[in-house]
Structure 1
Amino acid sequence: MASKGLSLLLWVFLVHLAGIYLYTRGFLLTRLSLSDTTACQDGSCTISPSHRRAVVLVIDALRFDFLSPHPPEPVSPHHHNVLVLPQELTAAQPTHSLLFEMFSDPPTTTLQRLKGITTGSLPTFIDMGSNFGGSSITEDSFIGQLRSAGKKIAFTGDDTWTTVFPDSFEPNMTFPYDSFNVEDLHTVDEGVIEHLFPLLMDKSPSWDVIIGHFLGVDHVGHRLGPDHPTMKTKLTQMDVVIRRVVELLDDDTLLILMGDHGMDRKGDHGGDGDHETSAALWVYSKGPQLVHPKASIPDWLLTSRLFPGATVEHRQIQQIDLASTLSLALGLPVPFNNLGTVIPELFWNDKAGTRYTRALALNAKQVNRYLDTYRASPSGGELDNAWSELQRTWKTVDFEAHTKDREAQWLAMTMYTRFALAACRQLWAQFNVTLIILGLVVLVMSTVTATLIYFKVGALQDNWESWAAGATWWYTLSGVGGACLGSVGYLAVSRYVKGLGLVEALLFGASFVSSLVAIFFARPSLSIPSFRSLTSIPLPLILHAAAFASNSFTVWEDRIVNFLLISSIAPSVLVGFSAPTSRLRYRILGFSALFALCVRLMAVSTVCREEQQPFCHVTFFASSSLPSPPLPVLFLSVPIALLLPYATRRFLKISKSDRGTAAIVIPWILPAVLLLGSSFWILEHFDSSEAFGPEWAGPLRLARTWCARLAMASVLFLGYALWYLVPLCLEISTETKPDASAPGKSTRQVTVLGFANAYGAPYLVFWCLFLGLLYPTLQLTGQAALALAAVAVLAHLEVVDSVRDVRGLEAVFASGNPSAILENDALRTPSVPLRFSEVAPLATLAVHAFFATGHQAAIPSIQWKTAFVLTPTLSYPLSPLLVVLNSFGPHFLISLAAPLLALWNVAPLPQPAMDVKARADAVRASLGTMLYHATLLLSSATCAAWLRRHLMVWKIFAPRFMLAAATVLVVDLAVLFGVAVGVGRVSSRVSRLFAAMNQGTK
């Protein structure tokens, strides 16, 4: 039974899970949120308001160059100089209209940006995940201050606001809309327009602040990119809306128009690229002037920046400056957790800057109160390194300075608030070194243990199952004992070790002790003879793991993996040149060439990280700013969907195993599924480009939704059901012939077609069905890359099979008894062990497929479109699962093929010895795959921990570690699924078949 090997794999997975949990708890901690609020009854902590009311309009993903009067070159006709009212009014009324570029702290997701805008606080790296499950904001905020002052807030638009501020808006003036239906470009905007204008036209307004959040620009970016005619249409609509708002605005209302973040060249966001962190801000006052016409604002107060590609610098501010600025402008206290600095221009309505001095002083005092409170909190130790400098800077502030000393006073206060912001930005990348070390220890132990188990299972051969049963029992028992020791250790040291909880102590104790016991049980693998096996570990794995020590190598990992993958087949090619027969020579060299060709063609598909510019050219999409498929891929998508099943069947025909279930699934079900998957994205392209006109949007959406649903349903309810009932790919025929040796008698001759691949062919059908399930979640270029990866897997299987035959022949000739070839069919069932160097190319191919299907180790590469493959609107948990399947499906699929290395072209005789060997090799192939990716995880985790104060830790090293951690879990689940379901079912049915045949013979 496969349960013995499954228990070993499950144990390795659980130890990996424990190590990842411990490490991430130490590496990705969130900052402490203080619940204190700024309150003053006598008005001493605020200033008189410049405006009585405000209209805050957020155009999601409004990048600065969309409003800039001097956009970058070359000018795009689709998003430059389209929304022009802000630049027109700023040029005509410079004292009433101000235009800024805002820096939005990463992660540039809507929830985190709303937190920054309203609280003035900073996010942490891991906070990005809460964008899809945001909870209410507990920190003091601009919204909270409005409510405390008894102000009435009207809201319409993105429902993220009502999620984070659930009880803050007036019930009869709150109109939220679903924010995650990226396919819908107009419903939210039309809803905002429907409710915004009646509120503005109310002659006796019952509101103090209106918040309207438009989503169309963001959705156009995600779906079509910024360089698309629909973006111009949407920005034109926004221009018309803003003009109407300005017309309806009264003199006592301040208008704020902003983007919460920007978007990259193809319309996505989430990371820290220049285009993603650049957002626009326009402030307009129809009545009181914002800046005194004779004001002389020092140049050092006005930071400027050159937008990428532009030739004229523009005024830049920090987005978190809005919280303090809007609060004081409306006569409210600054939110307690704010780290922003008031925008000078909005308080310089007198010539001397007296109002600005008062606002900046209140701002600086609030930041100082916050830092003092944080210093006294349980997390105050984080400020140790910066505290003396913060105190020294604070002492330079003189709040009693005379008028002639005001510029020095402004400088001191601004330096203090900005230094506090810089210190906190660095410190809130906080780490718990103890938990990091505990996590690394567990990851090291799990890697060493998996290596020893891999060699142990190979050394035991037929006796491996009895050893695995005993070892698993001891692993489990020692894990329980280790958990008990961990609890004792927690009681002893928890008061001295920061951040160590009971759960962490239990996990470390259980995983560490059970790993020690596992090493003890596998200790024979450390003997000198087995050391020769270590030489089969390929150099590409070592180089791949070492690359994570360099930010440059990590950035260019997609190119490095392409080189390492092709290099990994060099040992097989060398065997091919020295193969003893011409047939084996041609097979090894031919299939190796096919493998290399597929790998190279996959590398043609690229998406570019920001750090790769300008040396990278996007080929996954039509262009870097147009997220539609390239025309060649569009035309080839249908032929690819038809050719892949044909190629798969051709590989099966080599061993005559294209029978049974394979004769139904491969030529009929699989092509239909792949065609439906391609049809979804072809129709999506026609829908997005409005090739047939906007009136076809509804029918096209319905058609492509049902294409995807039919494809996935066919796999789950037809393909897998058929495979589970009849998994084998055999054709058995009987024929009665007269017995020449006994006249008058006859003999029954049984012919079994597909016998030589009785294990591999049904598992391949099982694997192809998951390929069909994954196919609709990938965009057209990703589908082409996945098809090439599938052919590469099949080619590698044939290479491994042929190399195995060569090694079998060499073993027979070395034995001095060449006639053994005729006696026991050594070519078909060679008793040669699986090598790690044969597993490594498949594991590396999984990484290569991840990059080739349009992904990078960066947040902006997440393909959010996939969330809407099966439904036109966001649906939990289906939509997130589809995004996960799109991102990690290639890893899962290629790793799921690992048991095929052991099962491919292995005949099932003699029974039951061959069945035991097949399961042992399948477990070893699975362990080898887990070991490869665990080694990459260990390397990335070690490098990220060692370089945790590196400038690029959150931009490069942390995302790569998170990808490696997720990959290990996905790969572990894939091999567990493959061994438990695929190998288990196939092995069981083969054994039952031969038992029945033996019974019939008797």
Structure 2
Amino acid sequence: MATRGLSLLVAVFLVHLAGIYLYYRGFLLTRLSLPDITACQGGSCTITPSHKRAVVLVIDALRFDFVSPHPPKPPSPYHHNVLVLPQELTASQPSRSFLFEMFSDPPTTTLQRLKGITTGSLPTFMEMGSNFGGSSVTEDSLVGQLRAAGKKIAFMGDDTWTTVFPDSFAPNMTFPYDSFNVEDLHTVDEGVIEHLFPLLQDKGAPWDVLIGHFLGVDHVGHRVGPDHPTMKTKLTQMDDVLRRVVDVLHDDTLLILMGDHGMDRKGDHGGDGDHETSAALWVYSKGPQLVHPKASIPSFLLSTRVFPDATVEHRHIQQIDLAPTLSLALGLPIPFNNLGTVIPELFWHDKAGKDYTRALSLNAMQVKRYLDTYRQSASGAELDKAWSELERIWRTVNFEAHTKDVEAQWLAMTMYTRNALAACRMLWAQFNVGLMRLGLILLVTGTVAATSLYFKLRALEAGWQEWTLEARRWYLSSAVGGALFGFVAYLTVSRFVKGLDFAESLLFGAAAMLSLVIIASSLPSLSNIRPSLTSMPLPLILHAAAFASNSFTVWEDHVVTYLLITSIVPNILVGFTAPTARLRLRILAFSALFAICVRLMAMSTVCREEQQPFCHVTFFASSSLPSPPAPILALSIPVALGLPWIMRRFLRISKSDKGTATLVLLGLLPAVFLLGAAFWVIEHWDSSEQFGPEWAGVLRSARTWCARVAVGLVIFFGYALWWLVPLCLEISSEAKQDGGKREVTVIGFANAFGAPYMVFWSLFLGLLYAATQLTGQVVLALAAVAILAHLEVVDSVRDVRGLEAVFASGNPSAILQADELRTPVIPLRFSEITPLALLAMHAFFATGHQAAIPSIQWKTAFVLTPTMTYPFSPLLVMLNTFGPHFLVALAVPLLALWNVPPLPQPQADIKARVDAVRAGLGVMLYHGTLLLSSAICSAWLRRHLMVWKIFAPRFMLAAVTVVVVDVAVLFGVGVGVGRVTERVSKLFAAMNPDKAKK
């Protein structure tokens, strides 16, 4: 049941959504894909192929140092010098074998890398999201050129290829396998091997290009990391496969081995770290020599790089260079959208490099043709800043083409293609400033509206329900009127805002007018509120200001810990001056418990690349071993069983551990927590093969059912029980000795609102528990204790302030009046909300997350199912990532309900509802302010070197966090608070409160 104030929260939520959408549309642009296709007659845009056929083997996540002859120091026994065939043949046959390190443009996800390899084009930041549900490639590509030339493509392995290139492979030579089952280390690789060698050994097999995509190395990385014996086993298998391939390879076939991306130290990828963007490429020709033995390739054509922690330079190329290189090597035109540059080593067939000159000329002309077409498109103005320099270099290319200085010609053409690449990399970091400004306007007005509404509810007290009903009509009318205004604006001035379409005009008009009406309707009642310097939300101000610095943003996990501890200092000061010994002890003891929980949570860390070498991973066993630390394994079961007991002890303080609380905290939650912990303990046994590989199927089935039973218990039993019988009371009655009316005893009366809501909240904790890895489960337990400790501190501080107010009134005897249970009423303060808002961020970092793509814990996609299953797998990843925010935001209404007695009625019911709305509005305001600051700083620093590495991911985190927190508040206030207050008011309305023992 929704409370009467839910419409106010919905209005703020809708403004947040509109602001996020418009800013997102301007800040996170997508690349314009031109539909043109390179076509030529009689080979005018290609060269004579060096090989008739090609075998392309992709070992997913094959990082360069996995095949490098000079790995970093000290070398790892698990992934260095294990796959050694490429370095052996490169050393023994230097004219036929070449080993490269490739730079893979971020995002380093498989789908985007396959697009780059086959089209030669660049991805954009937001394209990573399509990795879970990729769409087909519509632009010109190597695969498309092969089909246009009548070539047949055989394929086996990662089914991402068949997703992006549907109907492109020969039907009787296509064998796709599920690409997202990271739990399975062998099925895909064994399937590739099963179908690869029969096609290679059959001389009459009708394929021209054979593509095999192995997934085992990537899955081992995700599951146990690169520094694990399983990785050595997998790389040894790949080395054996390569040796067999070379043995049966025909002389007219070119062999290409590559990684689509690398992996970080713990085996994950997706971001732009050095280890993630580093991929290996090995090219081998068993027949024709690739480079003439007496040829000398100029050094300016051969860029080199030293791999991190290594000491020897190696040949370095761009991964998108593969598209023009393979196209020309196979006698095909270069894909139209290509921005790569041909690799010299594959075209230096004679001493003078004539084939290379021809290949590079075709490459430069293709890039020029692409840029000219892009220049004439609707987005062509984006090239304005770089166009004059590109034209100047092109004139040099034309001039040098008429001279005999071939090296100058090579240099000029290479400079043109590389400058074009650099310009386009900057081009697709461009922004639609107009849409960004509209989004910022909504975020600013939305923040002001939430602030004014927060204070308005404080000022209203009585009569807030009538005002809410009236405000609801205003909000609806203003949104409709604003949409009409947006329609008029679209017809008149939309041409001045680039990219603003009809729907966005309506959206901006409706949201802007709604914000203004909220502000206007709230201002008249704010005249009596006098903010002071001590009431300023300093932690929020400092937190928001931190986003202006890339250093503070990188180290936000430490900043949040400091601010969180600082936020409880005012309560501690109150504790020292409390008028009674009991209140002093309660405030100081529970504050200490809160601080201890926060510090213990801070011991759990994961490190983003920018924090190295000053950060040490403790969430996992090590930075390269994504398994739980040994102390966490030992603590997992005691914590799972002890947390419900601790929660019940908190309820026992107010004697509200009765009714539904007993069933949930003594029966349901221990079972749910134990099953959630058991899942990850068994997963660790399975991943580390402690019982041998023959137990893998049994362990997989056992942990799957542990998770399913845990989730099922919460959803189908826990929430059903709570909905039917939410109250945590024990009611008894007995007849008086004089034979008069019966006397009713209510145990748990003082916390009649808070206890059932806490049970409601704890059920979501049970859901989140199963989706969180073992270290994160301990962190969640500490966060739960910290929340309950903070509630007790707030309750005691309010008692202190109530006593002070009574004694200051000159009528101390008022506190003894039976009908004044809290005299006077102490309003909710923003400083009471701030620690919980900070605790949400603290829990996010402590559960193994950072504002960086590589921290996403993909393992959680397979908690309920052994394979990628929609929609459960993506939802589980989202639950794992943003569950801490949802959990803490869901607890915020407890600030209004904890230890609040339900008498007198109906005033107590009304006060509980309005305070819950204010509490929810306060946490929405906190995170909304962080979003506004992140958006402003990202817009201001959009040309900063670290914009895509630091500021853009932090804005995305802030945007999703706001949506998650807003939804949590709406769910908590609308369902939790609504149901609790409804049942409590019905119960006590049916009783005679004057005869109830309290």
Determine the structure 1 residue equivalent to 2:631. Answer: 632
Determine the structure 1 residue equivalent to 2:231. Answer: 231
Determine the structure 1 residue equivalent to 2:387. Answer: 387
The whole-number CA distance in structure 2 between the counterparts of 1:495 and 1:623 is 55
Q: Which amino acid aligns with 1:664?
A: L
Determine the structure 1 residue equivalent to 2:288. Answer: 288
State how 1:347-362 maps to structure 2 within 5 Å: 347-362=347-362
1:753 aligns with 2:747: yes
State how 1:235-250 maps to structure 2 within 5 Å: 235-250=235-250
Deviations 1:678-713 (A, max 9, x none): 000000000000001111101100000000001010
User: 1:986 aligned to 980, 989, 992, which one?
Assistant: 980
State how 1:118-133 maps to structure 2 within 5 Å: 118-133=118-133
How far is the alpha carbon of 1:525 from its aligned partner? 4.7
Contact in 2 for aligned 1:804/1:830 (Cα 8 Å): no
User: 2:881 aligned to 878, 887, 890, which one?
Assistant: 887
Q: Which amino acid aligns with 2:484?
A: C
The whole-number CA distance in structure 2 between the counterparts of 1:449 and 1:887 is 29
Determine the structure 2 residue equivalent to 1:996. Answer: 990
User: 1:776 aligned to 756, 762, 770, which one?
Assistant: 770
Contact in 2 for aligned 1:59/1:217 (Cα 8 Å): yes
User: 2:446 aligns to what SS in structure 1?
Assistant: helix
Determine the structure 2 residue equivalent to 1:152. Answer: 152
Deviations 1:707-743 (A, max 9, x none): 000101000111111111110000011122313xxxx
How far is the alpha carbon of 1:140 from its aligned partner? 0.5
User: 2:915 aligned to 917, 921, 926, which one?
Assistant: 921
How far is the alpha carbon of 1:668 from its aligned partner? 1.1
The whole-number CA distance in structure 2 between the counterparts of 1:503 and 1:588 is 53
Determine the structure 2 residue equivalent to 1:514. Answer: 514
Determine the structure 1 residue equivalent to 2:487. Answer: 487
Determine the structure 2 residue equivalent to 1:670. Answer: 669
Determine the structure 2 residue equivalent to 1:863. Answer: 857
How far is the alpha carbon of 1:997 from its aligned partner? 1.2
Determine the structure 1 residue equivalent to 2:715. Answer: 716
1:536 aligns with 2:530: no
User: 2:904 aligns to what SS in structure 1?
Assistant: coil
The whole-number CA distance in structure 2 between the counterparts of 1:746 and 1:488 is 74
User: 2:785 aligned to 781, 786, 791, which one?
Assistant: 791
1:621 aligns with 2:615: no
The 3 A distance-change label for structure 1 pair 927 and 48 is same
The 3 A distance-change label for structure 1 pair 53 and 164 is same
The whole-number CA distance in structure 2 between the counterparts of 1:2 and 1:64 is 57
1:945 aligns with 2:929: no
Determine the structure 2 residue equivalent to 1:742. Answer: none
Determine the structure 1 residue equivalent to 2:610. Answer: 611
Determine the structure 1 residue equivalent to 2:652. Answer: 653
How far is the alpha carbon of 1:496 from its aligned partner? 3.3
Contact in 1 for aligned 2:435/2:497 (Cα 8 Å): no
Determine the structure 2 residue equivalent to 1:687. Answer: 686
The whole-number CA distance in structure 2 between the counterparts of 1:436 and 1:534 is 33
User: 2:799 aligns to what SS in structure 1?
Assistant: helix
Determine the structure 2 residue equivalent to 1:588. Answer: 587
User: 1:813 aligns to what SS in structure 2?
Assistant: helix
Contact in 1 for aligned 2:547/2:933 (Cα 8 Å): yes
How far is the alpha carbon of 1:830 from its aligned partner? 4.7
How far is the alpha carbon of 1:781 from its aligned partner? 0.3
How far is the alpha carbon of 1:42 from its aligned partner? 1.7
The whole-number CA distance in structure 1 between the counterparts of 2:535 and 2:701 is 53
The whole-number CA distance in structure 2 between the counterparts of 1:714 and 1:205 is 55
- 4+ runs of 1 displaced by more than 6 Å? 999-1002
Determine the structure 2 residue equivalent to 1:812. Answer: 806
User: 2:848 aligned to 850, 854, 861, which one?
Assistant: 854
The whole-number CA distance in structure 1 between the counterparts of 2:993 and 2:845 is 52
The 3 A distance-change label for structure 1 pair 1000 and 174 is farther
Contact in 1 for aligned 2:3/2:977 (Cα 8 Å): no
The whole-number CA distance in structure 1 between the counterparts of 2:333 and 2:3 is 65
Contact in 2 for aligned 1:344/1:356 (Cα 8 Å): yes
**Larger displacement relative to structure 2 (603-612 or 396-405):** 396-405
Deviations 1:830-878 (A, max 9, x none): 5010000000100110010000000000000000000000000110001
1:166 aligns with 2:166: yes
User: 2:967 aligns to what SS in structure 1?
Assistant: helix
Contact in 1 for aligned 2:905/2:989 (Cα 8 Å): no
How far is the alpha carbon of 1:443 from its aligned partner? 0.5
Contact in 2 for aligned 1:828/1:905 (Cα 8 Å): no
Q: Which amino acid aligns with 2:905?
A: Q
How far is the alpha carbon of 1:999 from its aligned partner? 10
How far is the alpha carbon of 1:998 from its aligned partner? 3.5
User: 1:872 aligned to 861, 866, 879, which one?
Assistant: 866
Deviations 1:933-983 (A, max 9, x none): 000000000000111111111100000000000000000000000011100
Deviations 1:61-83 (A, max 9, x none): 00000000011011111111111
How far is the alpha carbon of 1:747 from its aligned partner? 4.4
The whole-number CA distance in structure 2 between the counterparts of 1:1000 and 1:677 is 46
Contact in 2 for aligned 1:759/1:908 (Cα 8 Å): yes
The whole-number CA distance in structure 2 between the counterparts of 1:386 and 1:126 is 24
The whole-number CA distance in structure 2 between the counterparts of 1:783 and 1:959 is 25
The whole-number CA distance in structure 2 between the counterparts of 1:372 and 1:672 is 66
**What is the count of residue pairs matched by the alignment?**
996
Contact in 2 for aligned 1:809/1:826 (Cα 8 Å): no
Deviations 1:224-266 (A, max 9, x none): 1000111011001100101000011011000000000000000
1:443 aligns with 2:437: no
User: 1:269 aligns to what SS in structure 2?
Assistant: coil
The whole-number CA distance in structure 2 between the counterparts of 1:27 and 1:549 is 17
The whole-number CA distance in structure 1 between the counterparts of 2:88 and 2:803 is 82
The whole-number CA distance in structure 1 between the counterparts of 2:830 and 2:198 is 70
The 3 A distance-change label for structure 1 pair 533 and 502 is farther
The 3 A distance-change label for structure 1 pair 386 and 400 is closer
Q: Which amino acid aligns with 2:773?
A: Q
The whole-number CA distance in structure 1 between the counterparts of 2:67 and 2:642 is 48
**Which sections of structure 1, spanning at least 5 residues, go unmatched?**
740-744
The 3 A distance-change label for structure 1 pair 999 and 258 is same
The whole-number CA distance in structure 2 between the counterparts of 1:810 and 1:177 is 70
Contact in 1 for aligned 2:400/2:408 (Cα 8 Å): no
Contact in 1 for aligned 2:100/2:280 (Cα 8 Å): yes
The whole-number CA distance in structure 2 between the counterparts of 1:513 and 1:360 is 57
Determine the structure 1 residue equivalent to 2:320. Answer: 320
User: Could you tell me the percent identity over the aligned residues?
Assistant: 79
Q: Which amino acid aligns with 1:655?
A: S
User: 1:978 aligns to what SS in structure 2?
Assistant: helix
The whole-number CA distance in structure 2 between the counterparts of 1:770 and 1:861 is 23
How far is the alpha carbon of 1:534 from its aligned partner? 7.6
Q: Which amino acid aligns with 2:867?
A: T
**Larger displacement relative to structure 2 (482-491 or 532-541):** 532-541
Determine the structure 2 residue equivalent to 1:505. Answer: 505
Q: Which amino acid aligns with 1:867?
A: A
Contact in 2 for aligned 1:660/1:731 (Cα 8 Å): yes
Contact in 2 for aligned 1:891/1:971 (Cα 8 Å): yes
TM-score where L is the length of structure 1: 0.98
How far is the alpha carbon of 1:996 from its aligned partner? 1.4
The whole-number CA distance in structure 2 between the counterparts of 1:973 and 1:765 is 19
The 3 A distance-change label for structure 1 pair 164 and 829 is farther
The whole-number CA distance in structure 1 between the counterparts of 2:483 and 2:583 is 53
The 3 A distance-change label for structure 1 pair 199 and 534 is farther
The whole-number CA distance in structure 2 between the counterparts of 1:975 and 1:169 is 50
Contact in 1 for aligned 2:455/2:526 (Cα 8 Å): no
How far is the alpha carbon of 1:269 from its aligned partner? 0.2
Determine the structure 1 residue equivalent to 2:39. Answer: 39
**Which sections of structure 2, spanning at least 5 residues, go unmatched?**
none
The whole-number CA distance in structure 2 between the counterparts of 1:451 and 1:220 is 49
Q: Which amino acid aligns with 1:530?
A: I
Contact in 1 for aligned 2:2/2:975 (Cα 8 Å): no
